[in-house]
Amino acid sequence: MEQTTLQINGMTCGHCKAAVDGALRNLQGVQNVQVDVAKGVAEVTYNNSEVTTKNMKEAVEEQGYDVR
């Protein structure tokens, strides 16, 4: 298992948190997600044989947020 921290712009509320959390957890290979709206980050634990950080970035961007 690997860990990465995504820097996410635009999350403002609990709905945003749920949208980002759900999009990431929906990816095959993502084991755990911790979203912090105030800090604008998501900490993801994942299996790098199944999912890439590019996959994660795309999933979050599909929800309408920018990933740095």
What does the binding site for its own copies look like in residue numbers (CB under 8 A)?
10, 12-16, 19, 64
Q: What is the smallest separation between the CB atom of 64 and its own copies, expressed in angstroms?
A: 7
Q: Which is nearer to its own copies, 1 or 13 (CB)?
A: 13
The dihedral sign for the CA sequence 34, 43, 26, 32: negative
Q: Which is nearer to its own copies, 9 or 32 (CB)?
A: 9
Cα(26)–Cα(37) distance, integer angstroms: 19
Q: What is the smallest separation between the CB atom of 44 and its own copies, expressed in angstroms?
A: 21
CA distances from 33 to 56, 60, 62 (A): 11, 12, 17
